[in-house]
Amino acid sequence: MALVDISRSIAPTTAVWPGDQEVEWSWTARVGAQEEASVNLGALQHSTHVASHADAPLHVDPEGKAVDALPLSAFVGPAEVVDVGDASRIRPEHVVNTTAERVLFKTSASALSDDEWPGRIAAVAPDTVRSLADKNVRLIGTDAPSVDPLDSTALPAHHALIDAGIVNLEGLRFENVPPGRYILIALPLKISGGDAAPVRAVLRDASVQQRPE
């Protein structure tokens, strides 16, 4: 089964939202470095919104669901990668022919390395969210660090997603992924009460048939 990794790496060099917790990695124990150490033991500190991650409604709504309360089924299943090129905004016309329950937007942000922060992004228009809701979409994903403009405080796309009951992934990467149909697997970490959680997101060719058990 060929899987395509669409996740960004978590490392001390990973670009994070300005002012957010940077990634800190340290060794608690190292074999050979400490006489009593029988294992290598690492420690990691980072934001819940680092790299590729799932947002929960709690991120923008104090009464919203936490990430561990989101339906896991939304994060696994048929998906469509939609290439919007260098569009400055993801609009309803980009999803006119979309029929998948999970829609992943490939924008110019996919060309950035993991340690680069974008100067601008293609935000998702609230009207696009409502169009997708009419199509019974369960999840959207973007390669940008947010579905809203980087300077937005009103966060209209986030709120439109909550109103529509659509979960969202941010910080993906589709650099070598052509548009088309796939199977998405992108389960968030089970962080109790979390406003978000990192994911290891992969795509599988939708045309590949699984062998019967």
- DSSP characters over 105-119: EE-GGGGS-TT---S
- Higher pLDDT: 138 or 210? It is 138
Q: pLDDT (tens digit, 9 = 90+) per residue, 51-67?
A: 999 999 999 999 999 99
Asked whether residue 87 carries a pLDDT value surpassing 60, the answer given is yes
Average pLDDT estimate for 35-50 = 94
> Which H or E run includes 54?
strand 53-55
Q: Which two tokens stand for residue 204?
A: 């599988």
* Separation between Cα atoms, residue 85 and residue 211, nearest integer Å: 36
Q: What is the pLDDT of residues 123-150, one digit of tens each?
A: 999 999 999 999 999 999 999 999 999 9
User: What is the pLDDT confidence band of residue 32, given thresholds at 50, 70 and 90?
Assistant: confident
Report the alpha-carbon distance of residue 103 to residue 173 in Å, rounded: 14
Backbone phi, psi, residue 203, to 5° = -120, 145
- Give the residue numbers marked as catalytic: 59
pTM of the model: 0.93
Gap between the Cα atoms of 1 and 208, Å rounded: 8
23-38 average pLDDT score: 89
Question: Which residue segments constitute the domains of the chain, with CATH numbers given?
Answer: 3-9+48-205 (3.50.30.50)
